[in-house]
Structure 1
Amino acid sequence: MFMKKILVVEDNYILNQDVCEFLREEGHLIKSVYCGKDAFDIIDRHEDMVALLTDVDLGPGPDGINVARYARAFSPRLPVVFMSANSNGRHELAGVAGSEFVAKPFRPQQIAKALSRVIQLQADSAPKAFRPLTANALSRASQWAA
């Protein structure tokens, strides 16, 4: 299994630890912080993360939406999963395209599925690599012949 680096931002210590433990058991590399400011510090170091999992309400300081927008300034197609006990706040996430929302309380498998979906969506929407041209001189000449 390809190990994915995921930044987890959750201010609730127990939930943070539980989510991180589950994701590690799933084979992911996890960087975990408890506030938006610490997330900004990780993002500023340009650590190569594959996805962001963040609570929407992180207490004092930047919230999860600001963290996602900040991360997207460096990596515009970064997959993002938001989690929150306030499911009424989904409309605020409209400004972060390509993200998913998981309402608390949740089962760890819901987080894993949401992460898989946004990571796959990002992969599917990635520009296809240019294939090397294999035409030889004769085939090119015949294409241009009148």
Structure 2
Amino acid sequence: MTSLADAELMQALPYARRYARALAGSQQAGDAMVADALRAGLPDLPGRLALYAGVTRLAATDAPGNLSAMERQLLLLTSLEELDVAQAAQVVGLDEAAAQRQLDHARTALRQATATDVLIIEDEPVIAMDLRMLVQRCGHRVSGVAASEAEAVRLANERPTGLILADVNLGRGGDGINAVRRIMASVKVPVIFVTAYPERLLTAEEVEPAFIMSKPFDPLTLAISTYQAVTAGQLPIE
């Protein structure tokens, strides 16, 4: 049992929710995992690592796709949550060398993952171009790039879409979450939301996204986020 101060736990909660939601594939299941981890008692680890470890203990041990459950956990911890290998190893209960071997295998498997058609919703042209290149480097196809709610809904209904990558703030073009809600009325696909302020979408105070990626992002973070969303994802918002 850890003796983490309440203030330290509160600071770590949004990041534990992001990790748990990405593992579980939905907001409801992920937030329940965090609550269960707190009730069960956390292991004796520093700060955020204790919460991550508590969630990991409750995670499913099987996983769809060509990555094992532990490989997914390590990838999410080192890419989405930005832990180093030594910290991630502590969370999952491996020594550092074993964790590194699993990560190396997982990264190779990611490059062999099934490609899908990605709709990008982003109003900033430079960021949209960067996302397009990153998505293609991950082996996916870009089905379209939308700069507004209306354009996003039109493209989602006109073109094959296996995944949506959506900015939350579309400026004058509207709101990314509203765009996804409208799309979900007719097209059911996993979604990753991109935001510079992920903690604002991780309060558990209302219906929120299951998959959230922080800006700025790198190719590996995008690769594991898209893989996890496609293979473990459920509906992102209700």
**TM-score, L = length of structure 2:** 0.46
Tell me the residue number matched to 1:79.
Answer: 190
Question: Alignment partner for residue 145 of structure 2, among 1, 18, 32?
Answer: 32
The structure with the larger Rg is 1
The structure that is strand-richer by fraction is 1
Equivalent position SS for 1:41: helix
Tell me the residue number matched to 1:55.
Answer: 167
Q: C-alpha deviations, 1:6-33, integer Å up to 9, x for none?
A: 0001111111101111211222110212
What CA distance in whole angstroms lies between the structure 2 residues aligned with 1:107 and 1:26?
A: 11
Question: Alignment partner for residue 156 of structure 2, among 28, 43, 48?
Answer: 43
CA contact (8 A) 2:167 2:193 kept: yes
Higher RCO (CA 8 Å, separation ≥ 6 residues): 2
**TM-score, L = length of structure 1:** 0.72
CA contact (8 A) 1:7 1:51 kept: yes
Tell me the residue number matched to 1:20.
Answer: 132
Tell me the residue number matched to 1:109.
Answer: 220
CA contact (8 A) 2:157 2:187 kept: no
For structure 2, the 5+ residue unaligned runs are 1-111
CA contact (8 A) 2:192 2:213 kept: yes
Distance 1:44 1:62, change over 3 A: farther
What CA distance in whole angstroms lies between the structure 1 residues aligned with 2:178 and 2:122?
A: 14
Tell me the residue number matched to 1:5.
Answer: 117
CA contact (8 A) 1:68 1:96 kept: no
AA matched with 2:141:
L
Superposition CA RMSD, Å:
2.2
Structure 1 residue ranges (4+ consecutive) displaced by more than 3 angstroms after TM superposition: 91-94
Give the drift of 1:82: 0.2
The structure that is helix-richer by fraction is 2
CA contact (8 A) 2:134 2:222 kept: no
Q: C-alpha deviations, 1:97-120, integer Å up to 9, x for none?
A: 6x3001111213212211110100
The percent identity for this pair of structures is: 23
For structure 1, the 5+ residue unaligned runs are 124-146
Distance 1:50 1:96, change over 3 A: farther
AA matched with 2:177:
I
